[in-house]
Amino acid sequence: MSSPIHYFTAGGPLMYPILLCSVVALAIIIERWIFLRRVRGANERFHLEVRTHLHPGSLDDAIRVCRASQAPLAQVFFAGLMRVADGEDRTRQAIEEVGQMEVAEFQRFMGGLSSIIGGATLLGFLGTVTGLIKAFQQVERLQGAVNPSVLASGIWEALLTTAFGLIVAIPASFAHGLIMSRIQGEVRQMEERSRKLMVLLVTGREDGA
């Protein structure tokens, strides 16, 4: 049975950029996953802490807790606190605006991951083309007097690069979708929690809506 190294070397020079794509994609996926887990933990800790300091009119206490925290939820809630005197609509708008700003940080490197997904696929297809060119060059060199074994090297290269490109792109694409879904869910939760914390601050009552 052929080893993975044999398949890799048989795929030709384009296997190396495809391998690089796989390494970078894996690094981005792991980094973003760890980042999102850390953000969720920080948000949970802030949420529990700030609730113990909230009562009607306790604006200064809430601001102090927000400034002491690095949690994204603290930044979103703080933006709302700064506009609470301007009314409910402006407060909600401030919360949503900062929430969208946090999205940019959450989506860091995700554009690069999208490029890698497309790039790995295209490199695989390019390998298909170069492999077939190699096969037909053999046909031309031998003036058509060829057998399947002569063409095997080029066709083998064409199929392997396509397969490896898709092996990199398909899992990375699923991971991209999953991470983006978690990002959107985290941002929506931050905005909703900030709104409910604001209600608690103003009225002293939980908002179950």
Confidence at residue 165, expressed as pLDDT on a 0 to 100 scale = 93
Phi, psi of 198 (to 5 degrees): -65, -40
Query: Do residues 43 and 71 make contact, with C-beta atoms less than 8 angstroms apart?
Result: yes
CA 141/CA 150 separation, integer angstroms? 11
| Backbone CA torsion sign across 46, 48, 45, 65 | positive
Confidence at residue 209, expressed as pLDDT on a 0 to 100 scale = 41
184: left (phi over 0), alpha (psi -120 to 50) or beta: alpha
Burial class (CB in 10 A: 0-12, 13-18, 19+), 66: buried
Tokens 């809430």 locate to 62
Which helix (H) or strand (E) element contains residue 150?
A: helix 148-203
Task: Say if pTM beats, i.e. exceeds, 0.85.
Answer: no
Ranges under pLDDT 50 in the chain: 209
10-21 pLDDT, tens digit per residue, is: 778 889 999 999
Transcribe 156-192 into DSSP letters. HHHHHHHHHHHHHHHHHHHHHHHHHHHHHHHHHHHHH
85-114 pLDDT, tens digit per residue, is: 777 788 888 888 888 888 888 999 999 999
List the domain boundaries for the chain. Answer: 15-203
Confidence at residue 114, expressed as pLDDT on a 0 to 100 scale = 95
